Structure 1
């Protein structure tokens, strides 16, 4: 049986590092919001549907010209990213199967390529495991404790920088997040919850242009990347 693929996009964050007043996912690039670009990229795959976890005060998301609007679902986000993801998984569980695949992807990552998405899906399905996009760390890493003074250089060997999407089975991911939250574990991405409960997670090498728009100058970089990918 071929299991369906769903996407979850946590989009309820305050975006405080980007701007105190403007949400990064609603910034414009080439006449579209960042979120519209992100959703369009995910819809290059044959999704059964996608769930946007949005803030209670969000009056923008539902007015956007999202690609494949017939596949769009909305639910309330939570206090943190992990809470938004769990809310979306709980929402999905009402009509999706435990063994369906779920992508979780950052709302502010509009530059992910179709090739990366396809390789991620193929790895998960062929090896029947959770998987994430990631890239090997290239730069020299410095450990700085206080006063901006370098304590030591950290070896890059075996270090990967996690990206999204991260893909897993719906039931597996929901259980992992619930267990980690219950035990008070800090969950920075889906893989960290899966790791905590002993689930194997594979890395699939992504691309360095799959950037997350975190700071204002990232928006300019994303514009250049999207133009170059045309």
Structure 2
């Protein structure tokens, strides 16, 4: 790991971003990757990265598949800050690979944002609030929104088993932010203990680290199914009109 001074954390920690983009996205399509679908003449991935670059990033790392011949040829925002590494079989593996890459060029106390490649609608205001919260508290944080729909438990479809209380429940989003060494250690520990890791916060929680929620917006959708793409088009258009 690269240390300017191993005895002292940097006076002004840098901010980096990781975008895991090696997944197959099989729920979207068996043949087409959702991050390379086009909205307003740009791919979903280009939109997502453009949003992240509203923050003062020192750089961003894309974890991509071995056969990916698209990402490095895109017109990415601030492409001089782009780094690429090989992704893994699962999202968590891609994030860990990117953290390993960053550990060679960044300080262990630098902040790292992890953001889904297929979340192109996150707003600048939400990004800034998330980063400010992490800086002010010195703790990890995620964007999330309170669950507002009635939740049903269905153990054996189609019959409802029971209604689940939505009190105290939040729906996690990305970006999620943590210190480089903290997140890397947490993911390594969680994988070693065979915990189920669905996002960065779940790895941090498994090690007992504090993670704060920063209320995001419901329009920060993740494109998962084909009809989400049309919704993202509408959201991006509405956001641009509001500017």
SS in 2 for 1:150: coil
Per the alignment, residue 183 of structure 1 pairs with 193
Cα distance in 1 between the residues matched to 2:105 and 2:91: 22
Does 1:103 find its partner at 2:110?
A: no
User: What does the per-residue CA deviation read over 1:139-183, in whole Å, with 9 as the maximum and x for residues that have no partner?
Assistant: 000000103100110001000000000000000000000000011
Distance 1:63 1:200 in 2: 39
Aligned residues: CA RMSD: 0.4
CA distance in 1, matches of 2:65, 2:39: 22
Tell me the equivalent position of 1:143.
153
**2:104 matches 1:121:** no
Aligned to 2:89: 79
Find the partner of 1:45 among 43, 51, 55: 55
Instruction: Tell me how far 1:2 sits from its aligned partner.
Output: 1.0
Equivalent position SS for 1:8: strand
State TM-score, norm by structure 2. 0.94
Deviations 1:50-85 (A, max 9, x none): 000000000000010000010000000000000000
Query: After TM superposition, what 4+ stretches of structure 1 lie above 4 angstroms from structure 2?
Result: none
Report whether the alignment pairs 1:15 with 2:25: yes
1:35 to 42, 45, 48: 45
Give the TM-score normalised by the residue count of structure 1.
1.00
Name the residue aligned to 1:165.
175
**1:154 aligns to 2:164 (yes or no):** yes
Q: Could you tell me how far apart the structure 2 residues matched to 1:200 and 1:45 are?
A: 23
Q: Where does the alignment leave 5 or more consecutive residues of structure 2 unmatched?
A: 1-10
Of residues 43, 48, 67, the one that matches 1:57 is: 67
